Every structure is written in structure tokens, then in C-alpha cells.
Amino acid sequence: MPTVAQPHSSSSHATPESAGRYLWCSTCRTDRHLQVLSAEPHRHPQSVLVEVTYTCSHCGHVFGHTATYEQVAAVLDRPTSAERRAGLRDY
């Protein structure tokens, strides 16, 4: 029998389950109001994951799970950069 590509062996898609989750408020269904409280590096030095804790300033929910730096930065960049720019322009 020839070795056919198996549908379950996704060799080309390197998407481990430990890829983390995007920061998201499931109550407000948006990430606009999220504020990152903490982002602790994962135990494994080679891991790109961080243990992130964040709150939604709109509904007050607090969330915590593992995410990648990119996923955390996606939320961190928005309000922080906006506030910094506003602050810099005030000075």
C-alpha cells in the first residue's frame, strides 16, 4: 500500500495546542476594553507562551490563561501606545 498523506497528520501545519489564546472578553465580545494586569513568562525557557492575566474595564471580568507574546502585545500595544502618544503631545 502506498503511503498516502493522512488527514490527521498535519505536518505542514505546526499548530500545537499550546499556542495560546488571543486575549478576548467573551462577555463584551471585544478586546477593546482589555487591560493586561500581568504577563509572566512560562516555565519553559524555550516557550513563547506567557501566563497572562487581564481584566475588561467595561464589564469588570478578569481572565487568565496562556498566550503568546504576540497575542499579549496585540492588546498591550493599542491603549498603551495611544495613551503614550497623547501624553507625549501634552508635554
Query: Percentage helix, strand, coil, to 5, in the chain?
Result: 25, 25, 45
Interface residue list for Zn ion (CB under 5 A) = 25, 27-28, 56, 58-59
With respect to Zn ion, which residue has the nearer C-beta, 50 or 56? 56
CB of 85 vs Zn ion, minimal distance in Å: 24
Residue 27 and residue 90: Cα distance in Å, rounded? 34
CB of 90 vs Zn ion, minimal distance in Å: 28
Q: What is the grid cell recorded at 74? A: 496585540
Please count the other Cβ atoms lying within 10 Å of the Cβ belonging to residue 25.
20
With respect to Zn ion, which residue has the nearer C-beta, 48 or 79? 79
With respect to Zn ion, which residue has the nearer C-beta, 19 or 37? 37
CB of 53 vs Zn ion, minimal distance in Å: 15
Report H helices in 26-68: none
